[in-house]
Amino acid sequence: MDVHESVLELVGGTPLVRLRTPGGEGSAALYAKLEYLSAGGSVKDRIGLHMIEQAERDGLLRPGGTVVEATSGNTGAGLAMVAAAKGYRAVLVVPDKTSAEKVATLRGFGAEVVVRRSGLPAEDPENVFNTAARIAEETPGSWLAGQYDNPANPGAHYATTGPEIWRQTDGRVTHLVACVGTGGTISGTGRYLKEVSGGAVQVTGADPVASVYSGGDGRPYFVEATGHVRHPETVDDVWPTSYHQDVVDELVAVSDRDSLLTVRQLAREQGLMVGGSSGLAVAAAQRVAAGLGPESLVVVILPDSGRQYLSKYFNDAWLLRLGFLDGEPGAARVGDAV
Ligand code: PMP
């Protein structure tokens, strides 16, 4: 029989599909890794599984235990799916800007969801991170996943995403392009590909224009779940230890407008319905590929599906109101009534 014993066997193992590029045959080949085809719908399934199994090996999570994390979406879904399949309880603390669909997904997997106000400063005991830490402290048998500082986050990509790309391209990959949120994806995948290729694979981070990773001023932007925003009261930015800057050769900054128009083009012209950070990554990858010849092979990671964002990126009224379709770029600010 060609069957699987559990949904956990369907985490990762995602395909690469060729994208059409403006330069056509004469330019580098560009392949997209479709993480929305993982069982829980995003690149974060991999870390949900890997972090939980590492915690089991380390004796931090035992039968009957509780998984706790501060998350606004995909990591929560990955953890909640794996917790459900393995019989753990999950408590997820989400900011109040999280879409109703994402909260419903977490609850659908049986997780308990605690909602806290978005954007509270690091020292506020009520922010999502401090709330999650407190719940973990107060709940016997619980384990805080801590994706921003957990080595099993980049470790998941070193163990799976990197080797998959190397095998799928017969070792012909020359460039990797990925978003940088916690940094886990680019750090683990990039480190593996650099090691296995003797340093030949070039790694490019795709970053929202305003994100502090690529030197932006940290003001909010519309593409969700990637980059790094500075809180107005935060003086020093604390960068996650899941982000290994030594792996990243360059960062390409992409505007909200280019990211969201790329999302719509991918759906309408190539049949790929993906999220905002995928549009961001593809826009960056197209720039990387444009400067390369046909001997190069670029792989870009597409983190999740567009179906989580139907009311935004695929809603003409939303895009028009914010000036992304034909108005002033950047005319709207995050937080404006839409
Ligand atoms: N895009 C989406 C949609 C995500 O959920 C994430 C994870 N927060 C990222 C990009 C960034 O991935 P990473 O945290 O591995 O850097």
* C-beta of residue 270 within 8 angstroms of C-beta of residue 20: yes
CA 324 to chain centre: 22
Q: Residue 181 C-alpha to ligand 1 middle, in angstroms?
A: 5
Q: Residue 182 C-alpha to ligand 1 middle, in angstroms?
A: 7
Residue 331 predicted with pLDDT over 70 = no
Q: Residue 44 C-alpha to ligand 1 middle, in angstroms?
A: 7
**What mean pLDDT, rounded, does the chain reach?**
90
Kindly indicate the confidence band of residue 233, based on its pLDDT and cuts at 50, 70 and 90. Answer: low
pLDDT score for 187: 98
The CB of 54 under 6 Å from ligand 1? The reply is no
User: Of ligand 1's atoms, which has the minimum distance to the CA of residue 153?
Assistant: 15
pLDDT score for 82: 98
pLDDT score for 291: 87
What residues act catalytically?
A: 44
* C-beta of residue 135 within 8 angstroms of C-beta of residue 142: yes
Mean per-residue pLDDT, 159-168 = 98
Q: pLDDT tens, 294-326?
A: 999 999 999 999 998 888 888 888 888 888 876
Residue 105 predicted with pLDDT over 80 = yes
Nearest CA residue ID for atom 4, ligand 1: 225
Phi, psi of 176 (to 5 degrees): -120, 135
Distance CA 180, CA 13 (A): 21
The CB of 116 under 6 Å from ligand 1? The reply is no
Q: What is the pTM of this model?
A: 0.93
User: Of ligand 1's atoms, which has the minimum distance to the CA of residue 47?
Assistant: 15
pLDDT score for 92: 97
Distance CA 299, CA 272 (A): 16
Per-residue DSSP letters for 39-70? TTSBTHHHHHHHHHHHHHHTTSS-TT-EEEEE
Kindly indicate the confidence band of residue 63, based on its pLDDT and cuts at 50, 70 and 90. Answer: very high
Percent of the chain with pLDDT over 70: 93
The CB of 322 under 6 Å from ligand 1? The reply is no
Residue holding tokens 């035992």?
A: 62
Indicate the top mutation candidate among 43, 191, 307 to test ligand 1's pocket, ranked by most ligand atoms within 8 A of CB: 43
pLDDT score for 3: 97
Residue 281 predicted with pLDDT over 70 = yes
Measured CA to CA in angstroms, residue 15 lies from 19, 115, 261 at distances of: 13, 35, 24
pLDDT score for 329: 44
Q: Residue 277 C-alpha to ligand 1 middle, in angstroms?
A: 8
The CB of 277 under 6 Å from ligand 1? The reply is yes
Indicate the top mutation candidate among 44, 101, 203, 308 to test ligand 1's pocket, ranked by most ligand atoms within 8 A of CB: 44
pLDDT score for 147: 95
Q: Residue 222 C-alpha to ligand 1 middle, in angstroms?
A: 14
pLDDT score for 230: 63
Kindly indicate the confidence band of residue 218, based on its pLDDT and cuts at 50, 70 and 90. Answer: confident
Residue 338 predicted with pLDDT over 70 = no
pLDDT score for 110: 97
pLDDT score for 219: 73
Q: Residue 2 C-alpha to ligand 1 middle, in angstroms?
A: 32
pLDDT score for 102: 86
Kindly indicate the confidence band of residue 237, based on its pLDDT and cuts at 50, 70 and 90. Answer: low
pLDDT score for 213: 87
Mean per-residue pLDDT, 179-205 = 97
The CB of 44 under 6 Å from ligand 1? The reply is yes
* C-beta of residue 14 within 8 angstroms of C-beta of residue 34: yes
Nearest CA residue ID for atom 8, ligand 1: 225
Residue 236 predicted with pLDDT over 70 = no
